[in-house]
Structure formats: structure tokens, C-alpha cells
Amino acid sequence: MYRIGNPSTLTVGIRATTGLHPSGSDLTSGTIDANTFTTGAGGLWYEILMTEYTLTPNTRYAIVCRANVGGANYVKWRTDNSAPAYTLGNREDSADSGGSWTTHIDLDSMFEVWGSASGSSSAFNKLMDTCRRVFHGASFDVTRSALTLGTTRDSVTGWYPKTYTDTTTHMVIIQKESQKLASDLGYWVSLDALGFTVDGAEVYDLVTDSFGRTWIVEVVKPIIVGDIVQFFVCDLKELSVYGG
């Protein structure tokens, strides 16, 4: 978003829909001082915290924004009109404070929504939301090299042959140097780092991050709520560039 003039308070709410249009009052909402927005036409990302509300899966909702001051003071919401990617959504606008709406099916307003899945770990969701907001645009993709041992021992060493199968997975890695972040979430970095993942891992797997650092998985602890594994916490030991 970016501003023209001084639009004062911007309220952002989530509403039900009738057809493609927003309907009814806000189910939940939050506010932000839009006078602090950039005036650059490219816009910036802004975070609006809303009161907790449980959404229903497979249901269409609308994100509705409105400012308090009119006239020459207003907020511009960036759209991606070159290649709209959100096939189930579209832009709507109203010239009469929501009395009627005009549909722009070929335009997407740029937005992100973060929240917690029902029944999942609040600590893990807090971690993921914090990382996504603070490090906006950052990738948590890592290469997981899964270890497989052969069935026949080597005749000289007596070891089983090792092979690794690489896949791209997601993991948030908190190093020893960032102990406070881990402690705030109720965890302690006992080795070189902790790895949080919902994709699973096994002891002795290798994990390589975007900086080319490689970690070996020493311990895997599943975090269970009820009878469902919500995510895994892995104790990681960093391997040196010399293979130590």
C-alpha cells in the first residue's frame, strides 16, 4: 500500500461474501495509522493485526479496507494486474461505502494472511508468523539429504554403504547465537542449532540451508497435540567445510 495525502486511520476487516461481493459487517478487524505509509507509488508491505477469529474452510471471504478521511486523502492498494495468480480471488471496489460493489475479475490486490490452524501448536505458529513477517520474502527452503544404508557390509571397513537422496523441504533453523528467540518459544538450542519442520526428518539426515551450510540431524522430537504430530524439532550439529 501507499498513501495520497493524510488518510488517517485505515481499518482492515474480514467479511462474509454474497457471490463475489463482500456482505455484512466485519467478522474481525484491525487498524493502522495510514499517515505513516510511504508515498512512493511502488508501495510497501504493512502488517495489520486483527482480533482472533475462526474462519471456516472452503469458504470465500473478503478483505475490506477503508480510511476515515476522504477527499484528496486516501490509501492506494497495489494490484498485480500483469499476471494475477490467485485464481479463486478478485478485486472489488465500492464508490458508496460498501452499498454496491464493482468486480474486477482480472485484477488481484496484493495481500498475505497469516494465522494458526485449529488445534496446532501456538509456539510453532508464533515462530512461523514471526519469521514470515520480520523476514518478509525470505525462503525457508532447505535441502534435506535423507540417509539410506546398503544391505551388505564393506568387506574391509565392515560399514554399510551410505547413499543420500536429496529433496527440497521447509525448515526454520535457529542457531545457538539466537538462543533468546528459541527460549521465547519454550525451546533451548542444545547443540549448534534447532530445526523446526512440519515435513519430517530422520536422525543422521543432512540439511543444507540457502547459505550452503550443512547440518546433521542428531535428534528428532515430534511435538504431538492429542493424537496428531503437529511438527518436529530437530537438534542440529553443523558440519565444518572440512567435513568434521
Q: Of 81, 109, 137, which marks where a domain is finished?
A: 109
Closest CA to 234 of 183, 205, 199, 196: 196
Cα angle 169, 174, 178; round to 5: 165
* Amino acid at position 157, single letter: T
Residues 129, 75: one domain? no
Residues 135, 49: one domain? no
State the residue range of the domain holding 31.
2-109
Structure confidence by residue, pLDDT tens digits, 111-142: 888 776 554 555 566 666 666 666 665 668 88
pLDDT of residue 129: 67
Q: What is the mean pLDDT of the chain?
A: 84
- Sign of the C-alpha dihedral, residues 180, 183, 185, 190? positive
Categorize the per-residue pLDDT at 215 as very low, low, confident or very high, splitting at 50, 70 and 90.
Answer: very high
Residues 140, 32: one domain? no
Residues 69, 171: one domain? no
Average pLDDT over residues 199-207: 89
Residues 69, 102: one domain? yes
Among 51-60, 153-162, 194-203, 209-218, top mean pLDDT goes to 209-218
Yes or no: say if 173 and 195 are a contact pair by the CB < 8 Å rule: yes
Three cell numbers written together for 138: 525470505
Position 152 pLDDT exceeds 90: no
Position 195 pLDDT exceeds 50: yes
Poorest-confidence range of 24-33, 38-47, 125-134, 217-226?
125-134
Categorize the per-residue pLDDT at 193 as very low, low, confident or very high, splitting at 50, 70 and 90.
Answer: very high
pLDDT of residue 104: 87
Between these two residues, 85 and 172, which has the higher pLDDT value?
172
Residues 216, 157: one domain? yes
Residues 54, 19: one domain? yes
In a domain, 32, yes or no: yes
Residues 16, 44: one domain? yes
Residues 95, 132: one domain? no
Categorize the per-residue pLDDT at 243 as very low, low, confident or very high, splitting at 50, 70 and 90.
Answer: very low
HEC string of 197-209?
A: ECCCCCCCCEEEC
Q: Of 109, 135, 157, which marks where a domain is finished?
A: 109
pLDDT of residue 80: 75
Yes or no: say if 223 and 229 are a contact pair by the CB < 8 Å rule: yes
Q: How many domains does the chain have?
A: 2
We report the CATH number of the domain holding residue 234 as 2.40.10
Average pLDDT over residues 95-114: 86
In a domain, 244, yes or no: no
Poorest-confidence range of 30-39, 95-104, 219-228?
219-228
Please state, in angstroms and as integers, the Cα–Cα distance from residue 103 to each residue in 60, 74, 100, following that order.
Answer: 15, 20, 10
Position 241 pLDDT exceeds 60: no
Residues 127, 212: one domain? yes
Q: Of 82, 109, 136, which marks where a domain is finished?
A: 109
In DSSP notation, 143-202 reads EEEEEEE-SS--TTT-PPPEEEEEEEEE-EEEEGGGHHHHHHTT----SSEEEEESS---
